[in-house]
Amino acid sequence: MPDTYSAQALLDDKDVFAKLTPPAKLGVFGDPVAHSKSPYFHNAALKASGLDLQYVRLHADAEIFSQAVKALPEAGFIGANVTIPHKQAALEAVDEADDYAKQSGAVNTILVQDGSLYGFNTDGPGLVRAIREEFFVDLRDARVLLLGAGGGAGRAIAVQCALEGCERLVLANRTFEKAAAMATELGQYFRSDRLIGPADRCVAVPQTPEGLRTEIGQVDLVINASSVGMKRTDPSPLPAALLTANLLVFDTVYSGGKSRLVEDAEAAGARACNGLPMLLHQGALSFEIWFNRKAPLDVMRKALLESVA
């Protein structure tokens, strides 16, 4: 079981992580963070790449998060990942962020270079790779129904769909106003006659059985970016009766094995998978940002699967 440290340690003693064996020069900030699977596959990747350093969990509450991030250069870190609930604050904490991170409003990967902090978001690109690998489909070719479009992951995925120029994007969210605002914001990316037919290319619907029923026949790929499904007892965010065999169903939730959504989709004859491939690929992309080389994907996949077995 990899160790979890308080991020306060970064502020108390700048050398504390450099003194570990091997020295810790990478980590993941979160609150909570003890459940994070990232150390398993990143440490396996570091070992396989002959890099004598380690990746640790860094528990940071909102009060110290930004200060701890700013302490990374002094502490000799190469970079870090950021998870719930700090991805939005990370965008503010870095010196510069790339365009996708700015537009998605969140940073999940920090690179330290020449004393400065650079922010990236690998969630959207990680999802693209995961969908290609699992379903042999490019996001840009899909008509997408995005559940939970108003959350942090939902926003990152919606922006990715827009930048990829996917065929169609249906944004659904429990709080409908957030999905509607997103559709207004992203509408500019969908202004073309690419799709022949009566349906608008970017629309928002309430995440209700009625709202979803009107759109399910005009999408190919359902992505759940809501947090429904994280608990084993959670219901599915999409009524089982709406699932059909022609759909591809990607649930970004990865805790607790198969979610109800994945189970229902498979029972309907659809191809479905949980969020582990996205977790893997966002991590591989972080590795590539830190080391400017291809990540040892097979080693990382094996370590991730062993950690959840």
CB of 293 to ligand NAP, least distance (A): 22
231 is catalytic: no
Per the listing, tokens 């995005």 go with: 146
* Distance (Å, whole) CA 232 – CA 248: 22
Q: Which of 104, 160, 226, 236 binds ligand NAP (CB under 6 A)?
A: 226
Nearer to ligand NAP, 82 or 142 (CB): 82
Q: Does 123 bind ligand NAP (CB under 6 A)?
A: yes
> Which region among 5-13, 40-48, 238-246, 274-282 touches ligand NAP (by CB under 6 A)?
274-282
Pick the piece of the chain touching ligand NAP (CB under 6 A) from 53-61, 167-175, 287-295, 298-306. 167-175
Do the Cβ atoms of 256 and 278 come closer than 8 Å?
A: no
- Cis amide leading into 2 (omega within 30): no
Is 240 among the residues that bind ligand NAP (CB under 6 A)? no
Q: How many Å apart are CA 280 and CA 38, to the nearest integer?
A: 8
User: Which tokens is 96 given?
Assistant: 């510069």
Considering only residues 21 to 80 of the shown chain, the ones binding ligand NAP according to CB under 6 A are none
Residue that has been written with the tokens 């440290």 in this structure: 5
Which residue lies nearer to ligand NAP by CB, 8 or 255? 255
Contact 142, 167 (CB under 8 A): yes
Question: How many C-beta atoms surround the C-beta of residue 240 within 10 A?
Answer: 14
5 near ligand NAP (CB under 6 A): no
Stretch that binds ligand NAP, among 8-16, 162-170, 220-228, 291-299 (CB under 6 A): 220-228
Q: Which residue among the candidates 87, 178, 231, 258 is catalytic per the annotation?
A: 87
Please state whether beta strands 109-113 and 79-82 pair in parallel, antiparallel, or not at all (unpaired): antiparallel
The minimum distance between CB 88 and ligand NAP, in angstroms, equals 9
Q: Which residue in the set 28, 60, 110, 153 belongs to the binding site for ligand NAP (CB under 6 A)?
A: 153
By C-alpha distance, which of 209, 204, 264, 214 is closest to 234? 264
Query: Residue 164 interacts with ligand NAP (CB under 6 A)?
Result: no
C-alpha radius of gyration, the chain, whole number: 20
- In the complex with ligand NAP, the residue whose CB is nearer, 125 or 237, is 237
Stretch near ligand NAP under the rule CB under 6 A, chosen from 4-12, 49-57, 95-103, 224-232: 224-232
**Inter-residue contact 159 to 192 (CB < 8 Å):** no
Starting at the earlier edge strand, list the strands of the sheet with 168-173.
202-206, 168-173, 143-147, 221-224, 248-251, 271-273
Residues in contact with ligand NAP by the rule CB under 6 A:
84, 123, 148, 150-154, 173-175, 178, 207, 225-228, 230, 237, 252-254, 275, 278-279, 282
